[in-house]
Structure formats: structure tokens, C-alpha cells
Chains A and B, each alone.
Chain A
Amino acid sequence: SQTIHQWPATLVQPVGSPLSLECTVEGTSNPNLYWYRQAAGRGLQLLFYSVGIGQISSEVPQNLSASRPQDRQFILSSKKLLLSDSGFYLCAWSHHLRTQYFGPGTRLLVL
């Protein structure tokens, strides 16, 4: 069966510091991968998606970036965090452009 991992689970970072969140998928190959952000009590906002290694599509302008160095690895990064970057970051995978399966999430607090 497929599993999706995210780490760290929780992160507290000062404003202006860099960020690196990692997502990995097991048990499948060539998945579509996604990064979402969820503000407290709100829905999910798509940030990036990838259909293959090195292929990244950005949905919203921001100071975040994403990379896919390996087939089942998706990384969310920032060079300098803003207060507004705080939130719950979710990674997801899918096949056949259908159901997306989510990881456990990373809670980021920027102070």
C-alpha cells in the first residue's frame, strides 16, 4: 500500500529564516505531487504541483518555492520566511488525475 510522509511535524521559525519541508511517498511510482497550505479554520490552498522530476507548477505568487529532486520526493522551501507563511502545510499525491491522498501535515509557526 502507499504511504506518504512529511517532516517535520511541527516547526517554529523566526521571520527571515529559511525553510525546508520534505514530503516522500512510498509504494507507488511517478505520482503527481502537491503542496497545499491551510490557514487556521480554513480550506486548502494549492501552492505547487508536480507531474514529474524537475517539473513544478506554481499556483500562487509567493516567497515559497518547490522542488522535486526524485520521483517520490517533494520539497517546499523558502529563503526568508514571512509572518504570513505560518500555517498547516499538506503534501498530497495522486494518480490518474483523480483522488488525492494527503500526508499528516507540517504545522509551521513563524514568529
Chain B
Amino acid sequence: GESVGLHLPTLSVQEGDNSIINCAYSNSASDYFIWYKQESGKGPQFIIDIRSNMDKRQGQRVTVLLNKTVKHLSLQIAATQPGDSAVYFCAEKWSGGGADGLTFGKGTHLIIQP
């Protein structure tokens, strides 16, 4: 099936810097995208979502950008903190696909250097 992938498996940034995690998706019919954060040994935690009729959405210290032309999604984290260390997954869904699950990428491991 079509898949969602992440460009970099590991990203290391200095504490206080901004982080950008990228994601490419291949299903042009996808109309809903979610970013999750997963800490070691825990379930994925919802961070932020965006629908395909938007190109930007902001939350607390996070911004998601969607470029439908090149089928690219990014998560920006401002002023990273040690607690931001985790694996970040993007997920995509086509709402016309019914109740079936999201399609996840493999994840990017974000490491915050002190």
C-alpha cells in the first residue's frame, strides 16, 4: 500500500534550538495528517493535526506545515527542551477510507543535547 515516510531516522539538536522534523507522504488522496510523540515505553501521544485544506497550523511551541504540491509535512518545535526527546511519527489518512487505521511512518528519534 501507499506509505508515509520520514527523511531522517535521528535528529540531534541543542537545547533551546528549534527542531524541524520532516515527513513525505505518497497518497495524494490523504486529507488528514497527525503528528505523534512517543516516549520510550509509552503509547504515542497526539501533538497536532492538520487537514488538507490548510497549509499551516500552530499549537503550543509546535507548528505543522503541509505542502500538498510536493506531498510534504513538517513539524517544527520551538525552543526545544529535554522533555522533547522522543520518537516523532507522522500519520496520514484519507477520510473516505472509512474507520480503518492511520498509516504511520517509521519515526524520527529526536535527541536534545544539553
A104 within 8 A of B: yes
Task: Name the one of A59, A103, A107 contacting B101, with C-beta atoms under 8 angstroms.
Answer: A59
- Do A43 and B104 have beta carbons less than 8 Å apart? yes
Interface residue ranges, A against B (CB under 8 Å): 6, 32, 34, 36, 42-44, 46, 49, 51, 57, 59, 90, 92, 94, 97-105, 107
Tell me whether A43 and B49 are in contact in the complex, defined as CB-CB below 8 angstroms, given that A97-B99, A99-B34 are known contacts. Answer: no
Interface residue ranges, B against A (CB under 8 Å): 32, 34, 36, 41-46, 49, 89, 93, 95, 98-102, 104-107
Bound CA–CA A90/B38 (angstroms): 12
Closest partner residue, chain B, to A98 (CB atom): B32
- Do B99 and A99 have beta carbons less than 8 Å apart? no
- Do B89 and A44 have beta carbons less than 8 Å apart? yes
